[in-house]
Amino acid sequence: MDISSKTTARPPVDDVQPVAPVDKAAARGATRPGDRIFLGFSRGSGIALLAIMAAIAAFLTYRTALALADNTGNFLTTFEWDPAGSSTGGKPYFGIAVLVFGTVVSSVIALLIAVPVAIGIALFISHYAPRKLATPIAYVIDLLAAVPSIVYGLWGALVVAPNLTGLYSWLDDYFGWTGVFEYNGGAPRSLMTVGILLAIMILPIITNVSREVFLQVPKMHEEAALALGATRWEVIRMSVLPFGRSGIISASMLGLGRALGETIAVATVLSPSFLINASVLDYGGGTFAQNIASKFNEASEYGQDALIASGLVLFVITLLVNGAARLIIARRKEYSGANA
Partner 1 sequence: MSTTTPTPPGPLVERPATLKAATLPRWSPLAVALGSAAVAVGIGLGAGLHSRIQWGLIAALLFIAGSYALAVAVEGTRQARDRLATSLVWVMFLLAVVPLASLIYETVQRGIKVFDVYFLTHSMGVLSDEETGGGIYHALIGTLQQVLLASVIAVPIGLLTAIYLVEYGRGKLSKVITFFVDVMTGIPSIVAGLFVLSFWILILGFGYSGWAGAMALAILMMPVIVRSTEEMLKLVPNELREASLALGVPKWRTILKVVLPTAIGGITTGVMLSVARIAGETAPVLLLVWVNPLINTNPFEGSQASLPLYVYQQYAAGTDASYDRAWAAALALIGFIMILNLAARGIARWKAPKTGR
Q: Given the rule CB under 8 A, which of 86-94, 114-122, 172-180, 239-247 is the region that contacts partner 1? A: 114-122
Should residue 276 be labelled a site residue for partner 1 when binding is judged by CB under 8 A?
Answer: no
What string of H, E and C letters represents the secondary structure of the chain?
A: CCHHHHHCCCCCCCCCCCCCCCCHHHHCCCCCHHHHHHHHHHHHHHHHHHHHHHHHHHHHHHHHHHHHHCCCCCCCCCCCEECCCCCCCCCCEECCHHHHHHHHHHHHHHHHHHHHHHHHHHHHHHHHCCHHHHHHHHHHHHHHHHCCHHHHHHHHHHHHHHHCHHHHHHHHHHHHHHCCCCCCCCCCCCHHHHHHHHHHHHHHHHHHHHHHHHHHCCHHHHHHHHHCCCCHHHHHHHHHHHHHHHHHHHHHHHHHHHHHHCCHHHHHHCCCECCCCCCCCCCCECCHHHHHHHHCCCCCHHHHHHHHHHHHHHHHHHHHHHHHHHHHHHHHHHHHHHHC
Among the listed residues 134, 241, 249, 293, the single contact to partner 1 using CB under 8 A = 293
Should residue 226 be labelled a site residue for partner 1 when binding is judged by CB under 8 A?
Answer: no
Should residue 124 be labelled a site residue for partner 1 when binding is judged by CB under 8 A?
Answer: yes
Among the listed residues 105, 262, 277, 303, the single contact to partner 1 using CB under 8 A = 262
In the stretch 186-205, what mask flags binding to partner 1 with x, by CB under 8 A? --------------x--x--
Should residue 166 be labelled a site residue for partner 1 when binding is judged by CB under 8 A?
Answer: yes
> Looking only at residues 139 through 158 of this chain, which bind partner 1 when binding is defined by CB under 8 A?
139-144, 146-155, 157-158
Among the listed residues 70, 173, 223, 234, the single contact to partner 1 using CB under 8 A = 234
Min separation Cβ 308 and partner 1, Å: 5
Q: Given the rule CB under 8 A, which of 172-180, 216-224, 225-233, 277-285 is the region that contacts partner 1? A: 225-233
Should residue 170 be labelled a site residue for partner 1 when binding is judged by CB under 8 A?
Answer: yes
Should residue 25 be labelled a site residue for partner 1 when binding is judged by CB under 8 A?
Answer: no
Should residue 112 be labelled a site residue for partner 1 when binding is judged by CB under 8 A?
Answer: no
